[in-house]
Structure formats: structure tokens, C-alpha cells
Structure 1
Amino acid sequence: MMKQFEGFGKFLESLRGKMSLREAANKSGLSHAYIRDLELERNRSTNEKIKPSPVTLKKLSDAYKFSYTDLMEKAGYLEKGIPDSQSAPPTLPLADILFIEIGSTEMTYHTRIGNRTIPMQSLLDFSHFLDQLEDQGFKKMDTDLFVNLSHVKKYDAQAGKLYFDPLGVSLSVTIAALRQKKYHDLILRSVAYHSGNDLEYHFEKSTGKDSLLASLQRQN
């Protein structure tokens, strides 16, 4: 991977300009402490050097109204001047993907028949790609984890796990606590719908019962 632009933290600080850290946090969805750490290029709790992920850069790009591609280049994820023919997003249909893990240099697509890893350097249009995920039913379930809810067949709320089969014996992912709280009802509805329990779920919700949990217990 290419080196990060020297002075990248200072560059981020200059993009923020007169905007306060808390205002930047509100606009980006990142914490003000983390934004400051990025500007200093180190975690102030551990004193370890840090680097923003592509997802974080997308948030800063939107908050600061600055080119996402330029931020990716300066952060060392992309080589300046790569031809467009090398930058198209992967052609694997999003509908076939169970979940996507986004690393610092690559993305891994998980499907029912295996995985596919894509180098991050090939994603100049990564910003548009993230927008597509939301349109296709993906939700961000952790810092760098996007899950296609249409494939989730079982939800273990106690363990915070999503399974891609109704018995909960195959591949699973663990979701962050805050994301679980945010999407709890949406996950329940989605699992009910894609497991064929939608009518029962809506009927029993109207009588004050949690039908989906009851149906999952019957499956077990």
C-alpha cells in the first residue's frame, strides 16, 4: 500500500477550519475525540499511531465537502491518476452478498458459496458504492461491517448475532451493541419477513406479543 501523505493530520485539521470539533462530530457522525486523534495522527489514550479507514474518510469528506477521492489518495489508499477502467466497483451482484467487511486496504465479500476479496486501490468510486449498499438493503452493523438484512434468517438478540440460516448453525456475524440497539426492531421485522413469519409478527405485535421471538423459539 502507498504511504500516507506526510502531514495528513494537519491537512484534516485545515479542512475542518473554523468548524469546532463538536460541530464536525455532529456533521460526520464521528466522536469529537476521535476526530482530534486523527488530526494528531495518534490515539491519545495509547499513544499509538492511527490512520482513518476508507469509511471514516467518506464521513469526513461529506462533513467537510471535500473530494473523497482526493482524501483517499492523500491517506495512501489510492494512487493518483489511476485510469477509470481500473477503478470500477466489483461486478458481483450485491443481492448475492451476505455481508461485507471493509479493511484498510481491501474489502471482503461473503456469499453462500465463498468469499471474494477486492483491493481497496481499485475503488475510486467507493463513495458511490457505499450509497449503493444502503439502497440494496445493507446496514452498517459495526465500524467496518455491512450486512445485507434480506439474507438474515435468525437473530440472537442476547448474543448480538445475526445468522444466515433459520436454525442458526451456519455463518454468523456479531453486531456492535449500539448498532443492535439502533436496528433491533428493523432486524426483527426483516427476519420475520424473510422467514415467512411477517403476517404472524404484525398480528401478534398488535396484541402486545413478540411473535418473532416466539416463532424463533419454536424453531429451536
Structure 2
Amino acid sequence: MTVHYKIRGFVFKKEDRLETDRIFSVFTEEFGRLEIFAKAIRKIASKLRGGMEMFSIADIEFIQGKYRKTLTDAVCTQKFTDLAVSPEKIEIAQKISSLLDIFIKGEQTDQKVWMLVTDFFEKLHGVSLQSSHWQLAYDYFFWNLVSVLGYAPELSLCIVCRKTLNPSDLYFSSNEGGTMCGSCALSRNNANLSFGAIKVSGDAVKILRLFLCQDWQTVVKLKAGLESLKTLEALSEDYGIYLTGVMH
């Protein structure tokens, strides 16, 4: 017996199958992540072709069979057209697609992730940044994603001794889960308990806090230096590897 569903989802991944078929990964408001099989959608005459565009929101209908979900109808309801004409935005969208693929597994409703994804792509669609600052947009999404998934780092106090941080002597340890004072970083590194702690500036930590406050308007206006930008990129990569083992 088949069951018919109608859902709303964000299309973030596609994989071709055989000559004309395709499987879409969709994050939905109702069920979380779904894998939906689209029969013959790559044919030019397919009526489903225009409804399942990458990085768009669609009203999707599918039939749940014994082994898979099969697409029966799709209508694109929100297309972020600005992405297609911006190489920087497309690159960020593709990196976020990889993040979602890594972090979101299985069918589990998560309204916070849904709100983050849809809100971020609306922001990305309308923003203009200087070339050196596009990485900030990705970092903003990354840190908010890990936060809503329950992996927010400690940024207010030293994660080890719980004392107030000195902005001139700061470290970040993915293993420990947040910022560390210089004294604790030194003692734990000497004891081989905090391998890989990264020296960070006070400005980099301030930007991380802005990310987690979801202060987008301030983030896009930041005049961050190249050193801080490189540090943030390194922190995102390091924390992602710690959490998943597969970031790149």
C-alpha cells in the first residue's frame, strides 16, 4: 500500500541515476531530511523538471512505497535567482549543501534547522559583500548550524577554569569545546590533554559571538582584518573536522 504526502522542502542535493532518473535530498519542514526519487526527471519533456531546482523551496508531492519515496509533483515556490549570477554565492550554497549532507542524517523534524536554512538563503540572496568577506557568510551559517544541533562552543569564559578571558591571550580548542585562557591552554598542552588548540585574537572571538547572536546586519558590515578572517576559516574547518571527521 502506498501513502501520498504533500510537503514543503528546501532542495540541497541531487544525484543522477541511470540515464534519466535523479534522487533529490530535501530538507523539509515536516519530516527533516528526505531522499526522493524522481523518475525520468532529466528528460526534456518531464513535467517535474522545473519544480525541483537546486537551492530552492518547493511544494513537493510524493508517494511512499515499500522501498522509496517517488516524486509525483513539485512546484518551485521560492527561487533565489541572485545565486545563479554570483559565483561567490553559488560556491557558498554548494559548501552549505555539503554541510547539510554531512550533519543532517535521517528523517527527524527540526524546526530550528528549517528556519536557519530558509532564513540564511533569503539573506544570502540579497546581500553584497567585498570579495574577501564571502567566507564570513559561510562561517555565519556553519556556527549557527552546529549551535542549533547542540554543539555551540563556549565563548564567554575559559572552558577549563571558567574564569574571565583575557582578549590578548586566547585559544580555541575544538576538543574542549570552546575558548581557553593562555594558562589553561599551556598546562593542558604540556599534559597532552588539549592537542591542537588554536591561538585566536579577541576580534575573532567577538565575531564568533556575533555569529551565534545571529547579528547578520553587523556581520555583513564588519571591517575584519585578513588575519581574523583566516582564523575564523581555520576554526570552522577544525571544529567541523572534530565533530564529523570529514570536513574539508
The TM-score with structure 2 as length reference comes to 0.24
The TM-score with structure 1 as length reference comes to 0.27
Q: Which has the higher helix share?
A: 1
Q: Which has the higher strand share?
A: 2
The higher-RCO structure (CA 8 Å, 6+ apart) is 2
